[in-house]
Amino acid sequence: MNKNVTLLFLFLFTPLLFVNAQTFTLKGLVKTPLGDGVANASVILVQTPYATVCDSAGNFRLKRVKSGDYTLEVSAIGFKSIIRSLSIRESQLINLVLEESVQQLSDVNVRAEKGKTFGITRLKAVEGTTINAGKKSEVIILDDITANKATNNSRQIYAKVAGLNIWENDGAGIQLGIGGRGLNPNRVTNFNTRQNGYDMSADALGYPESYYSPPAELTSRIEILRGASSLQYGTQFGGLINFKLKEGPSSKPIEVTSRETVGSWGFLNATNSIGGTVKKLQYYTFFQHKSGDGWRPNANFNVNTAYASATYTVNPKLALTVQYTYMNYLAHQPGGLTDAEFTADPHQSIRARNWFKVNWNLGAIMLDYQINDHLKFNSRVFGLSASRFALGNLDFINRADPGTPRDLYKDNYTNYGNENRLLYTYKAGNNPQNLLLGVRYYRGFTNRAQGLGNQASSGTATDFTFVNSDDYAYSKYTFPNYNVAVFAENIVRLTNKLSIIPGIRFENIITRADGFYSVINKDQAGNIFFSQQIEEHKNNIRHFLLGGLGLSYSQSQAMQLYANISQNYRAINFNDIRSVNPNIQVDPNLQDERGYSADLGIRGNLSGVLNYDVSLFTINYANRIGTVQKSDPVTFNVYRYRTNVSQSRSLGLESFAELELLHFIDKQNTGTRLSVFTNLALINARYINSDEPAYRNKKVELAPDVIVKTGLSFQHKRFAATCQVAYTSEQFTDATNAVFTANAIDGLIPAYTVMDLSAEYKLSKVFALQSSINNLSNARYFTRRADSYPGPGIIPADARSFFLTVQVKL
C-alpha cells in the first residue's frame, strides 16, 4: 500500500516539480519613439538577481529566468523609466519604447542622472538635431562637480577634459581663455563657441573672440566636440564648445535659488534665479552681480549678467523658445610685467590707467518641431548687439608710463543669423539610419576705431571718448561680412555595432574692410616723428567645399572605438587685417588657413567603476598663422609679426580615466563614493617644410609638451569634496622660440603646477554651503605674455585665495 501511494505521489507531483525547475529567456529591444535603439539602457527584474544592460543597438537578453510573476524596470539616462508587471511562463520577446525625459526638443536634451557621475560624460550618437557619432566629445555636468563656480574657475570646471591649455586673465573668471591641442587659448578664438546652440562670440566669422562667457552658476552643462565638428558647426580647427544654460523645473510652478559668495580681496558674488513651469509655459530668469578688488593693485572689477528664457509648448510636437542675455562689465587692468619685475614681485602693478569695458546683448528665438516619427526640425534665429572699449597705455612695458593721453580702442558689433537643421531617421535593412541636413546664414558688421583718448584720459578716469570724434589718429574701419553654408552628415549603420559617418559642408564667405589706418613711427621717448594716413578697401570672396568621414564601432558600453578625419578652414579675422599696436604688426599678404584634423580613440565605461577615453590626434595646417619675433630697423624695438609662418603639424595623445575606488568595498551602495581621475595630454607641435631657418622645425607657440590634471573626488551623503593638481609644461610664445625679450611680450612661459580644493555640504534640501581654496600651494606663476590688453607683458596669475558660498533653494 505504501509503495502504491509513493508511486501515485511521484506520478502526480513530479511534473509540477519539473515545471518549477524550468527556466526561460527574456529578450527584446529598447528603443526611442523614432525607432533608434537605446544603448546601455538598464533592464532589471526588481528584487531579483536578474539584470542586464542593452547593447549599442538597444538589444537585451536575460537568461535562465525562473517561471513566475515579476516587476520589470527599464531605465536610461535622459529617458523616462518604465515599470510594468510581467508574468513569465515561457520564453518571451518584448519591445519597449522609452520617452525622452525632457519636454523641449532642444539642441541638447540629454540629462545625466545626478549622482551617477562625478561631472563628466559624453554626447550620444544623435541628440536633438545633431550628429555626434564617430567624434571625440566631453560633457561637463555642472551640478555634479564640486568647484568654484562663483569665479568660473576654469582649472576646476574643465579638470576632466584632456589637453586644455588654460589662460588665467583675472581671478573673477570674467573672460574664458582655453585652447586645445596646441591652439591659442585667447578668448576661445579657436573654438566655435555657442550658447544653447547659437553663436555668442563677437563675430563668429571675422572676430570669433568671446568677451562674454556664461557664468558657471547659470550653466547646466558644457559640451565639447573636437576637430571633426567643423562640418556641422563651421570652420574652426579647435572644435565646438556649447554652453547649455539652466531651465526652470518642469515639476513645479516656481523655484527660487539664491547664492551669495564672499572671497579674498573683497570678492562678492550675488546670484539669484527664478524658474518653473506653468501649464504649457516653462520659464527661467537669472541675475548675477560680481565685484572685487583683485589680487594685484589696479585690478578692481564690476560685472552684471542677466538672462531670461521662456519655452511655450504648443503641443507635444511643437515648442517655441525665446531667450535674452545681457552682460555689462567694467574692469581695471593692472597691466603686464617684465621678467625681472615678475621675479622681484608678481603682485605689483606698474600701469594704473588701463580699463576695459564690455556691453553684451544676445538674443535668440528657437523653434523645435517633431514633424512625424521620422522627421525632426530645429530653427534658430539669433542676434548680437555689443561693444568692447579698451583704454590704456599699450606702449612697451619696459618703458615708464609718461602720463600722456591713452590709446583708445572701440568696437561695436551688430550681427544676426539663422541656422536650420532637419534630422531624418530611416531604415536600411534592419538598421536605423540618421541623415542630417542643414543651412546657415550669417551677417556680421563690426565698426572699429583706434586712436587717442580724450585729453582727460591723461589721468586715471574711465573716459571712453576720443580726443576728437572726427580724428581717429590710428584707424577707423567698418567690417561687413556674409556667410552662407550648407551641410549634411549621415550615420550609415552597416551593422548594429559598426557605423560610418560621411559629411560635407559648402561655404560661401564674403569679408570686406573699408576705412583707413595710419603709419606712425615714434622715437625711444615715445614722440611721433612720422605719421601717414592710408585709405584701404578690401573685398574677399571665397567658395570652398569641406569633406570628412567618421567611423564608430560599439562593442558594448565597456568599449567603443571612434575615428574621424575632416578638412578645416579658418578665415583671417579683423585683427589680422589691420591693428595699430606698437607691440605687433601684421603681414599685409596674410592668407586664410587651410588643413585637416583627425582622431582615433577608444572609450568606455566599465559598470560605472572605470570611465576612460584614450585617443590619438593630428592637426595639419598648410599655412598656419603665427607670430615671429622681429626688430624695427629704425628704433630697434622688438615686436611680434603676425604672418603665415609655414606648414605646421601637431601630433598628440589625450587620455582620461576615472576609477571608482570604493566600488569593491561598498557593495551595499550606501552613498559613499571615492574616485581618482587623471587626464594626460602629450603634444608635439612643430613648424615643418619651412624655408626660413628662424623657425624651421621650431615648436608651435602656446603648445606645451605635457598637460596633466589629476585629483580625488569624494562624496558621502550630503558632503562632497574635490582636490586636484594641474601641471602644464613650459611653452613658447612665438615661432622663433625666443626665450627672452626685454619688453616681455615674447619669451618662455615656464612650467607651473597649481592645486585647488573645493567642498560642499548640504544642510538640507533648502540650504547648502560651498567653499574653495584656489592655488592651495600659493604658487607664483603666469600663463601668458600679452601684446595688448590686459598687458603688454607677463600677466601674473592670482595667489592663494579663499571663497565661501551660501545657497538657498526654495
Is 113 contained in some domain?
no
**pLDDT-derived band at 107, boundaries 50, 70, 90:** very low
Is the pLDDT reported for residue 46 higher than 80? no
Q: What local confidence, expressed as pLDDT, does residue 14 receive?
A: 39
Q: What local confidence, expressed as pLDDT, does residue 81 receive?
A: 80
Least confident of 56-70, 520-534, 778-792: 520-534
Q: What local confidence, expressed as pLDDT, does residue 225 receive?
A: 94
The mean pLDDT of the chain is 88
Is the pLDDT reported for residue 711 higher than 90? yes
| CB 19 within 8 Å of CB 49 | no
Q: Which of 118, 145, 116 is nearest to 770 (CA)?
A: 145
| CB 366 within 8 Å of CB 106 | yes
Is 106 contained in some domain?
no
Same domain? 150 vs 89: no
Q: What local confidence, expressed as pLDDT, does residue 517 receive?
A: 83
More confident residue, 262 or 11: 262
Is the pLDDT reported for residue 793 higher than 90? yes
CATH number at residue 454: 2.40.170.20
Q: Mean of the pLDDT values across residues 540-553?
A: 94
| CB 103 within 8 Å of CB 76 | no
Cell of 268: 562678492
Q: What local confidence, expressed as pLDDT, does residue 538 receive?
A: 87
CATH number at residue 152: 2.170.130.10
Q: Which of 116, 102, 150, 110 is nearest to 130 (CA)?
A: 110
Is 58 contained in some domain?
yes
Same domain? 616 vs 522: yes
Q: What local confidence, expressed as pLDDT, does residue 104 receive?
A: 37
Residue 59 structural domain: 2-97
More confident residue, 593 or 214: 214
CATH number at residue 73: 2.60.40.10
Same domain? 607 vs 507: yes
The DSSP secondary-structure symbol of 372 reads E
Within its chain, how far is the Cα of 769 from the centroid? 27
Complete DSSP assignment for 184-231: --GGGTTSEEEETTEE-SSBTTTB---S----TTTEEEEEEE-GGGHH
Identity of residue 139? V
Residues 6 or more apart in contact with residue 527 via CB below 8 angstroms: none
Same domain? 266 vs 204: no
Is the pLDDT reported for residue 160 higher than 70? yes
pTM here is: 0.85
Is the pLDDT reported for residue 66 higher than 60? yes
Q: Mean of the pLDDT values across residues 637-666?
A: 87
- Give dist(CA 238, CA 215) in Å, integer: 22
Same domain? 170 vs 293: no
Q: Mean of the pLDDT values across residues 85-105?
A: 75
Same domain? 228 vs 282: no
Is 105 contained in some domain?
no
| CB 342 within 8 Å of CB 782 | yes
Is the pLDDT reported for residue 720 higher than 70? yes
Cell of 496: 548594429
Q: What local confidence, expressed as pLDDT, does residue 115 receive?
A: 44
Same domain? 161 vs 261: no
Is 109 contained in some domain?
no
Q: What local confidence, expressed as pLDDT, does residue 111 receive?
A: 38
pLDDT tens, 723-774?
A: 999 999 999 999 999 999 999 999 999 999 999 999 999 999 899 999 999 9
Is 103 contained in some domain?
no
Same domain? 767 vs 654: yes
Identity of residue 660? E
Beta bridge partners of 772: 758, 803
Measured over the CA atoms of residue 172, residue 175, residue 180 and residue 182, the dihedral's sign is negative
**pLDDT-derived band at 159, boundaries 50, 70, 90:** very high
Vertex 465: Cα angle to 460 and 470 (nearest 5): 140
Q: What local confidence, expressed as pLDDT, does residue 310 receive?
A: 98
Other CB atoms within 10 Å distance of the CB of residue 524: 10
Boundary of a domain, candidates 82, 97, 112: 97
Please give the tally of structural domains in the chain.
Answer: 3
Q: Mean of the pLDDT values across residues 138-144?
A: 94
Boundary of a domain, candidates 240, 258, 273: 240
Identity of residue 51? A
Q: What local confidence, expressed as pLDDT, does residue 788 receive?
A: 85
| CB 263 within 8 Å of CB 804 | yes
Boundary of a domain, candidates 181, 213, 240: 240
Give the whole-number percent of the chain exceeding pLDDT 90.
61
Cβ neighbourhood burial of 223 (10 Å; 0-12, 13-18, 19+): buried
SS3 helix, strand, coil % of the chain, rounded to 5?
5, 55, 35
Least confident of 56-65, 166-175, 521-530, 667-676: 521-530
- Give dist(CA 670, CA 362) in Å, integer: 45
| CB 215 within 8 Å of CB 288 | yes
**pLDDT-derived band at 226, boundaries 50, 70, 90:** confident
Is the pLDDT reported for residue 12 higher than 80? no
Q: What local confidence, expressed as pLDDT, does residue 578 receive?
A: 66
Is 345 contained in some domain?
yes
Same domain? 468 vs 556: yes
- H/E run at residue 156: helix 154-157
Is the pLDDT reported for residue 3 higher than 70? no
Other CB atoms within 10 Å distance of the CB of residue 765: 9
Same domain? 151 vs 63: no
Complete DSSP assignment for 604-650: EEETTTEEEEEEEEEEEEEEEEEEEEEE-TTT--EEEEEEEEEEEEE
Instruction: Write phi, then psi, for 351 (nearest 5 degrees).
Output: -125, 115
Is the pLDDT reported for residue 2 higher than 60? no
Is 111 contained in some domain?
no
| CB 193 within 8 Å of CB 211 | no
Q: What local confidence, expressed as pLDDT, does residue 13 receive?
A: 38
Other CB atoms within 10 Å distance of the CB of residue 28: 19
CA count, 13 A, side-chain hemisphere, 632: 15
Identity of residue 239? G
Q: Mean of the pLDDT values across residues 69-85?
A: 82
Vertex 119: Cα angle to 115 and 121 (nearest 5): 100
Pairing of strands 593-606, 584-586: unpaired
pLDDT tens, 404-421?
A: 888 899 999 999 999 999
- Give dist(CA 64, CA 21) in Å, integer: 10
Q: What local confidence, expressed as pLDDT, does residue 455 receive?
A: 65
Is the pLDDT reported for residue 643 higher than 60? yes
Same domain? 9 vs 50: yes
Q: What local confidence, expressed as pLDDT, does residue 85 receive?
A: 82
- H/E run at residue 689: none
Cell of 656: 582620461
Q: Mean of the pLDDT values across residues 641-655?
A: 92
Q: What local confidence, expressed as pLDDT, does residue 86 receive?
A: 86
Q: What local confidence, expressed as pLDDT, does residue 5 receive?
A: 43
Q: What local confidence, expressed as pLDDT, does residue 184 receive?
A: 92
More confident residue, 432 or 755: 755
Same domain? 354 vs 225: no
Q: Mean of the pLDDT values across residues 651-672?
A: 82
